[in-house]
Chains A and B, each alone.
Chain A
Amino acid sequence: MAKKPSPAKPHADIHPAAVPFLWLANKKVVKNFIYVPLIGLIVFSLLGLVFPLYHPAKWDFFMSYSVIGFVSYSFVVLAAWPLFKLLSRPENYYGEGGDD
């Protein structure tokens, strides 16, 4: 009698140590991940009132680093659009092949 093919194990191609963390790729988790830094930002900005800077600069206020972080990061990322247009060339531009 032919053996019954064993049912394919779920997550057979996933590393066992990664299985408990597969929820990280869940669409809902990804979609709602924005709340993690948002809540973190609100909490730490409010904590800025409790722990004001010991040596503030002229421009500092209770959430000044939040503003600096958000603006700086956004500037870097948004600058990538025009910079890519300006500086990107085909991969073999120098005629030496890719990097890998």
Chain B
Amino acid sequence: MISFLTSFSPAFILIFAGILAGFMPSYPGRKVLMIGAPAAALVLLNVMFLSASGTDGYLGGYLSVAGIELTTIRIDQLSMIWGNIFAFVGIINGIFALHEKCKITDTSALIYTGAGIGAVFAGDLITLFIFWELLALSSVFIVWRGGKEAYPAGMRYLAMHILSGVLLLSGAVIYGRATGSYEFNHIGMDAPGGKLMLLAMGIKAGFPFLHNWIQDAYPKSSVTGTVILSVFTTKLAIYALARGYAGTELLIYIGGIMAVFPVFFAVLENDLRKVLSYSLNNQLGFMVAGIGIGSSLALNGVAAHVVVDILFKGLLFMSMGAVLHRVGTTKASELGGLFRSMPYTTLFCIIGAGSISAFPLMGGFISKSMIIAAMFEEGHLIVFLMLLFASAGVLEHSGIKVPYFAFFAHDSGKRVKEAPWNMLAAMGIAAFFCIYLALPIPGAGMYSLYAMLPYEMTGDAAFLPYTGDHVVFQMQLLMAAMLAFTVLKKIGLYPPERRAQILDSDWIYRRLGLSLLIWADAMWTRLGTHIKLVVRRVLSFAAKRLYYVFSPAGALSQDAPSGLAAVLTAFMLAASLLIVYFLR
């Protein structure tokens, strides 16, 4: 029985459940699938892991498609941590979405979660590509659930992800033909097709200038949609980079830039879900930089940060989802004072904010410190400083701005109901783990997180976050940033929240590119008209000339003098004779 169950990827449970949900008219039945299917996948993948324990890894779930053997299961320490957190968060998402009676969201969410897990367990590049594309196709419906205004954003989202898929496939084919293997292991920049695949992963990971789909699509999705979307796509890209490009130095600098630039945009944004989307980008920067370092401490930091980031970022998105659900907006300029109506949501949001800001005894404190420490150890001091700067920036946008403007600040006078029980339950679970995974309890807490990490965390490799100097200096950073906030607020230098569209690099294709296309279209139309006119004139002229020659009233119909005819005939006869003479 166990050998049968372990012969196919846990992803198929979710994908099958998603298809089933699409045909299921019963709302409670779909909700059972929403929670039950990720739970079943979580159990199954751990059964697989346990049955493969003692080995370096387990490969299986072979399928033959068009002469290529696909490996749909690859169980090892790296894939397990992603698989576990994906399946676990699938359950939390299911709980958060319990109140929503939308067949499309349920179906898409299940397939999307399945595609994420399938891609993580892909043993070869073609399987990765298949799930990579399924991820894009299933998630775009979740974006579109945001309503009419989400449609164009969804189209742009789809275009970017299809492009990413095409690049991945192109790179994979070049790589496969050159090396004779499609196995998905370390690839590196210099491998054939390596740069194309890096670019494909860069799109999904939100590299600078390729990041706009995140801030464009995520905030426009539905209350539950944004929460679901925030988990899988970007973290899968981080997994793919960790698997294929660990130690690629370029990623250190890309990660550094990714951590810094969203901070400036997040301060400007008024929509708090958009602020969180920039914050998501900023946290991905820490992960990408860690992958670039490639040391065991850095990669452990990346894996740990993926786990806690999914939890605290999910928690923050859930709290804003609850606000949107109850108030109808997440514009900071229209919120404020909501702690009076939504105290539990406020508490959960503060836990998420504290966690992302890396306060001691909260998730981010452990994982982010590992990446920053690894950066310092490897001597990348400029990027190290950039990450410190970004840490202060994180406190601004996610640590202070989101909870402050939504739940405190001036009282907007909005009195609403607390979030539904299922939302509170989902937020409660995420909040619990944000704290639990940071507690220094022997055999539990952060050590249970350590136990999941891809590299050993004992002996010399042990990372001890709760040393006096680390706690003190981290608190210095956070307290100083909080003091800066209060001082700037007091002297009126903290910018007010204003409704506006903030331009980002997507202006290049949304405005400039579109304008160029419209201009090119207009020019083409004018050119076409002009060409038509010229052709018409030329044809008309030619027709006139022909008419003058061949028409009944034309030159050839007129009587010619016989003398001229005789000369012409003689000339033609002479020419014919000469031709015949020389050709013979």
A54–B381 CA distance with the chains assembled, in angstroms: 16
Q: For B482, what are the chain A residues with a Cβ–Cβ distance below 8 Å?
A: 36-37, 40
Question: Is the contact region of chain B dominated by helix, strand, or loop, or is it mixed?
Answer: helix
B400 to nearest A CB, angstroms?
Answer: 9
Q: For A57, what are the chain B residues with a Cβ–Cβ distance below 8 Å?
A: 376, 381, 384
Using A14-B340, A93-B501 as known contacts, say yes or no to A73 and B381 having CB atoms under 8 A apart: no
A77 touches B511 (CB 8 A): no
A24-49 interface (Cβ within 8 A of B): 24-25, 33-34, 36-38, 40-41, 44-45, 47-48
A99 touches B273 (CB 8 A): yes
- Please tell me if B393 contacts chain A, counting CB pairs below 8 Å: yes
A41 touches B264 (CB 8 A): no
B392 touches A73 (CB 8 A): yes
> What are the interface flags for B404-415 relative to A under an 8 Å C-beta threshold, 1 for contact and 0 otherwise?
000010010001
> What are the interface flags for A11-28 relative to B under an 8 Å C-beta threshold, 1 for contact and 0 otherwise?
001110110011011000
A29 to nearest B CB, angstroms?
Answer: 11
Q: For B486, what are the chain A residues with a Cβ–Cβ distance below 8 Å?
A: 33-34, 37-38
- Please tell me if A1 contacts chain B, counting CB pairs below 8 Å: no
B510 to nearest A CB, angstroms?
Answer: 6
Q: For B393, what are the chain A residues with a Cβ–Cβ distance below 8 Å?
A: 72-73, 76
- Please tell me if B462 contacts chain A, counting CB pairs below 8 Å: no
B481 touches A48 (CB 8 A): no
A25–B343 CA distance with the chains assembled, in angstroms: 13
A64–B306 CA distance with the chains assembled, in angstroms: 29
Q: For A78, what are the chain B residues with a Cβ–Cβ distance below 8 Å?
A: 488, 493
A95 to nearest B CB, angstroms?
Answer: 9
Q: For A36, what are the chain B residues with a Cβ–Cβ distance below 8 Å?
A: 482
CB-nearest residue of chain A relative to B342? A15
Stretch from B115-123, B362-370, B452-460, B472-480 forming part of the interface with A: B472-480
A89 touches B500 (CB 8 A): yes
- Please tell me if B271 contacts chain A, counting CB pairs below 8 Å: yes
A86–B447 CA distance with the chains assembled, in angstroms: 47
B438-495 interface (Cβ within 8 A of A): 467-488, 490, 493-495
A33–B479 CA distance with the chains assembled, in angstroms: 12
Q: For A34, what are the chain B residues with a Cβ–Cβ distance below 8 Å?
A: 483, 486-487, 490
B453 to nearest A CB, angstroms?
Answer: 22
B501 touches A83 (CB 8 A): no
A69-100 interface (Cβ within 8 A of B): 69-70, 72-74, 76-81, 83-84, 87-94, 96-100
B500 touches A37 (CB 8 A): no
B172 to nearest A CB, angstroms?
Answer: 35
CB-nearest residue of chain A relative to B219? A99
CB-nearest residue of chain B relative to A69? B480
- Please tell me if B30 contacts chain A, counting CB pairs below 8 Å: no
A99–B329 CA distance with the chains assembled, in angstroms: 9
B342 touches A92 (CB 8 A): no
Contact of B479 among A40, A79, A81, A89 (CB under 8 A): A40
A15 to nearest B CB, angstroms?
Answer: 5
A52–B377 CA distance with the chains assembled, in angstroms: 17
B47 to nearest A CB, angstroms?
Answer: 41
**B interface bracket (residues with beta carbon within 8 Å of A):** 35 or more
A45 to nearest B CB, angstroms?
Answer: 6
Q: For A38, what are the chain B residues with a Cβ–Cβ distance below 8 Å?
A: 483, 486
CB-nearest residue of chain A relative to B327? A100
B473 touches A41 (CB 8 A): no
A41 to nearest B CB, angstroms?
Answer: 4
Q: For A81, what are the chain B residues with a Cβ–Cβ distance below 8 Å?
A: 495
B315-366 interface (Cβ within 8 A of A): 324, 328-331, 337, 339-344, 346
Using A66-B480, A87-B503, A91-B500 as known contacts, say yes or no to A15 and B467 having CB atoms under 8 A apart: no
Q: For A14, what are the chain B residues with a Cβ–Cβ distance below 8 Å?
A: 340-341, 415
- Please tell me if A68 contacts chain B, counting CB pairs below 8 Å: yes
A69 touches B500 (CB 8 A): no
A72 touches B479 (CB 8 A): no
A65 touches B474 (CB 8 A): yes
A65–B478 CA distance with the chains assembled, in angstroms: 9
Contact of A65 among B153, B264, B330, B476 (CB under 8 A): B476
Q: For B264, what are the chain A residues with a Cβ–Cβ distance below 8 Å?
A: 76, 79-80, 83
B476 touches A76 (CB 8 A): no
Using A79-B264, A97-B149 as known contacts, say yes or no to A90 and B501 having CB atoms under 8 A apart: yes
A41 touches B339 (CB 8 A): no
A2–B155 CA distance with the chains assembled, in angstroms: 64
Contact of A80 among B337, B388, B495 (CB under 8 A): B495
Q: For A45, what are the chain B residues with a Cβ–Cβ distance below 8 Å?
A: 476
B389 touches A15 (CB 8 A): no
A80–B342 CA distance with the chains assembled, in angstroms: 30
A74–B503 CA distance with the chains assembled, in angstroms: 22
A65–B469 CA distance with the chains assembled, in angstroms: 11
- Please tell me if B530 contacts chain A, counting CB pairs below 8 Å: no
Q: For B511, what are the chain A residues with a Cβ–Cβ distance below 8 Å?
A: 93-94
Contact of A96 among B149, B473, B504 (CB under 8 A): B149
B485 touches A77 (CB 8 A): yes
Using A80-B264, A80-B268 as known contacts, say yes or no to A70 and B483 having CB atoms under 8 A apart: yes
Q: 5 A-B pairs, CB-CB below 8 angstroms?
A: A15-B343, A22-B340, A34-B483, A99-B220, A100-B331
Measured CB to CB, the residues of B under 8 A from A are: 148-149, 152-153, 219-220, 263-264, 267-268, 271, 273-274, 324, 328-331, 337, 339-344, 346, 376-377, 381, 384-385, 388-389, 392-393, 395-396, 408, 411, 415, 418, 467-488, 490, 493-495, 498-504, 510-511
A-B contacts besides A64-B473, A66-B480, 12 pairs, CB < 8 Å: A18-B340, A18-B343, A21-B343, A25-B408, A34-B483, A38-B483, A65-B480, A70-B480, A74-B484, A77-B494, A89-B502, A99-B271
